[in-house]
Chains A and B, each alone.
Chain A
Amino acid sequence: MASGQRRLDIDTIGDVTIARFVDKKILDETNIQIIGNQLFGLVEEDGRKRIVLDFSNVEYLSSAALGKLITMEKKVKSAGGKLRLCAIRPDIYEVFAITKLNQVFDIKEDQDQALEGF
């Protein structure tokens, strides 16, 4: 029941959706495919436009996962919405910095900062 497994914990504050990754490791392709589909569903099926992705549980992240995040960013933008990332631990932030994706994504320290002025 792979497609039925929730890989994101969803909270809604006002018109902002906070999606917290459940997994510690976002590494293998099968898992990333499922997470990607659930992320895209927030925009394409639920019509959510302001989305914060909370990485507080995430300890590992591969390049394939970065690919899904980039696609997610594009989907949110083309729907006229905004995406923010938050609570990224230093090792994972390094993955964003090495690939210069810290320049592509709007990354905030924690959920409170992500919600500020969003």
Chain B
Amino acid sequence: MPHTHEFEEVIPSDTAAAQRVQERVIRALEEFQYSSRDIFCMRLAIEEAVTNAIKHGNRRDVSKKVFVRCLVDAERVHLVVEDEGPGFVLENVPDPTADENLDKPSGRGIKLMQSFLTAVEYNDQGNQVTLVKRREPSPEQSGKSA
């Protein structure tokens, strides 16, 4: 098994291309035998991050690209997703779990990423997000150490 799996992709603002990148990241996780739980968390997070880049960042402008950089090793997944949009201020995003927002049909992607990943960080401009997921100990491993 290699020590790291690293790749970069530049994709159009198109959900089919986003799916292909998602599958490539997941294959890398499978290569390093991440658990189904880790794969669940990462797949969901990639979907949310790339969808945000296409929809909110690039505003579905097909001439704009999404840049994806991925590094996977035995311990963690590190993924950077950047769009060509103007960016946003994280603090200005309404809390989707506030009572007044519970019935709104959108605005939950960031909350889900933050909940399922080890770290979610935006650059100052707000057009680039870094997702980090550390390998969670498997139940078998936890059992052995108990």
Contacts and interface: CB of A to CB of B under 8 A. Distances in A.
Interface of A: 27-30, 59-64, 66-68, 70-71, 73-74, 91, 94-95, 98-101, 103-104
A49 to B, nearest CB: 20
B104 A98 contact: no
Interface residues of B, number: 25
Contacts of A68: 105
B130 interface: no
Interface of B: 15-16, 18-19, 37, 40, 43-44, 47-48, 51, 55, 96-97, 102-109, 111-112, 115
A63 B103 contact: no
A60 B55 CA distance: 20
Contacts of A95: 44, 112
A17 to B, nearest CB: 22
A99 B112 contact: yes
Contact of A63 (B18, B40, B112): B112
A79 to B, nearest CB: 16
Contacts, number: 65
Q: Is the interface of A mostly helix, strand, loop or mixed?
A: helix
26 contacts: A27-B47, A28-B19, A28-B47, A29-B15, A30-B15, A30-B16, A60-B40, A61-B44, A62-B47, A63-B48, A63-B107, A63-B108, A63-B111, A63-B112, A64-B106, A66-B105, A67-B108, A70-B103, A70-B104, A70-B105, A73-B103, A91-B40, A95-B112, A98-B111, A101-B102, A104-B102
Q: Which 7 A-B pairs have the closest CB atoms?
A: A67-B105, A63-B108, A63-B109, A100-B97, A98-B115, A27-B47, A70-B105
A100 B51 CA distance: 22
Nearest to B55: A29
Given A28-B15, A30-B15, 4 more contacts: A27-B47, A28-B18, A60-B43, A66-B105
